[in-house]
Amino acid sequence: MYCILMAGGSGSRFWPHSRKKRSKQFLSLVGKQTLIESTVRRFLPLTSPDHLFVVSNIGQKCEMEKQHLPVPSQNIIYEPIGKNTAPCIGLAALFVEARDPEAIMVVSPADHLIRQEDRFRKTVMAAVSLAGQKDALVTIGIQPDRPATGYGYIQIKENLGKLNGISSFSVRTFAEKPNLATAERFLKSGDFYWNSGIFIFKISVLLKAFEKYAPDLYEALLTLKKVIGNNNYEETLEKVYRQIRGISIDYAIMEKADNVFLVKGEFEWNDLGSWEQTYKLSKKDSDGNAIQGDVVTMDSRNCYISTSSGVIAVIGMEDIIIVQEKDATLICRRDRVEDVKKIVERFKRKNLQKYL
């Protein structure tokens, strides 16, 4: 079994701590370890470091090298530009296929928070068994406990019973991030799960799915397969990546395939999609403030305050997010955190790209 950690992306929702060259997985949002360090630690009991790959963006190479991950340098793959998850996963599959064409690989984002890790690993092994037994494309679904509008959903069909005590199902359909009314309907139905973005499949099954459902990407992968390990690999990779379309694995394959299954993830999972989620998961003082760095508060409640440079003094504030870097500061009401990404877009119009 091989584990692939996807560590690209821009992470603009966590500006100013996250930037183009330092995205969310390199931050210590909850706890002392960075998210990617926590993710690597989570997977190492399942496989050896030699069987663990990380896929990142070449623009984040310096930040990646600072992590000192227990992963061989040849197992860190850099994409020249981000093209979403389908090309990312396909590229990683080529590197694994070169070692073992019939291997099973587990693909996971590197920037999620997962607790109850023993349960998580038990779920992964159940998914690996299912992928091997049925030559299937398997995903891990999280049973929703609220009508969340920030996640994609997966509708289950047939109950296949339990594998190693973990419930498994065939999949009926994938659903986009819904509006609130639709999310409430999904929750009430009982047959929709959150899409965790974690996938498990045999290399051979995945590549056949690329050939059938995304033939243009499959042709690109064949081109890359010929040059892996050669002197012209990087040149060819950049050329191919500039030509291929950017598309998620969900759109490219999972939504089209008929051999898709889901295992139920019975562990605490959060994709840490905003400063508000980080606040809710952080330890708080007696006034409900979550604090990182040198911060002094007076008559302030229910705030998230983080500084990596200097000191912050806060007086008389409630329900506020304050995040300070040496060159940039964010001040935002907690109920407006979804707009952080939007205000970062405005930097481009004001010729302030150097702060991105």
Q: What is the pLDDT of residue 336?
A: 94
Q: What is the pLDDT of residue 58?
A: 95
Which residue from 68, 62, 53 is spatially nearest to 23, judged by alpha carbons? 62
Which residue from 207, 199, 250, 218 is spatially nearest to 97, judged by alpha carbons? 207
Q: What is the pLDDT of residue 144?
A: 94
On whether the CB atoms of residues 260 and 254 are closer than 8 A, the answer is yes
Distance of CA 267 to the CA centre of its chain: 16
Q: Rounded CA gap, 293 and 296, in Å?
A: 10
On whether the CB atoms of residues 281 and 268 are closer than 8 A, the answer is no
Q: Count the Cβ atoms, other than its own, within 10 Å of residue 50.
A: 12
Q: Rounded CA gap, 85 and 92, in Å?
A: 11
Q: What is the pLDDT of residue 164?
A: 87
Which residue from 324, 326, 287, 323 is spatially nearest to 304, judged by alpha carbons? 323
On whether the CB atoms of residues 153 and 194 are closer than 8 A, the answer is yes
CA atoms lying within 13 Å on the CB side of residue 80: 12
Q: Rounded CA gap, 41 and 37, in Å?
A: 6
CATH for 2-270? 3.90.550.10
On whether the CB atoms of residues 57 and 79 are closer than 8 A, the answer is yes
Residue 321 in tokens: 């997010």
Distance of CA 215 to the CA centre of its chain: 25
CA atoms lying within 13 Å on the CB side of residue 44: 11
Longest dimension (CA), the chain: 64
On whether the CB atoms of residues 88 and 108 are closer than 8 A, the answer is no
- Tell me how far CA of residue 331 lies from CA of 154, 323, 350, in angstroms: 35, 7, 19
Q: What is the pLDDT of residue 43?
A: 97
Residue 202 in tokens: 């045999």
Q: What is the pLDDT of residue 68?
A: 86
Which residue from 136, 139, 128, 111 is spatially nearest to 36, judged by alpha carbons? 111
Cut 0.85: pTM above it: yes
Q: Rounded CA gap, 46 and 149, in Å?
A: 32
Q: Helix, strand, coil % (nearest 5) of the chain?
A: 40, 30, 30
Q: What is the pLDDT of residue 12?
A: 85
* Residue ranges per structural domain of the chain: 2-270, 275-355
Q: What is the pLDDT of residue 279?
A: 96
Q: What is the pLDDT of residue 8?
A: 87
Q: Rounded CA gap, 322 and 112, in Å?
A: 22
Taking only the tens of pLDDT, the chain with its 356 residues reads 999 999 987 768 899 999 888 899 999 998 889 999 999 999 999 999 999 999 999 999 999 999 989 999 999 999 999 999 999 999 999 999 999 999 999 999 999 999 999 999 999 999 999 999 999 999 999 999 999 988 999 999 999 999 989 999 999 999 999 999 999 999 999 999 999 999 999 999 999 999 999 999 999 999 999 999 899 999 999 999 999 999 999 999 999 999 999 999 999 999 998 999 999 999 999 999 999 999 999 999 999 999 998 999 999 999 999 999 999 999 999 999 989 989 999 998 889 988 88
On whether the CB atoms of residues 163 and 136 are closer than 8 A, the answer is no
On whether the CB atoms of residues 129 and 163 are closer than 8 A, the answer is yes
Q: Kindly state the DSSP code that residue 85 receives in the 8-state scheme.
A: H
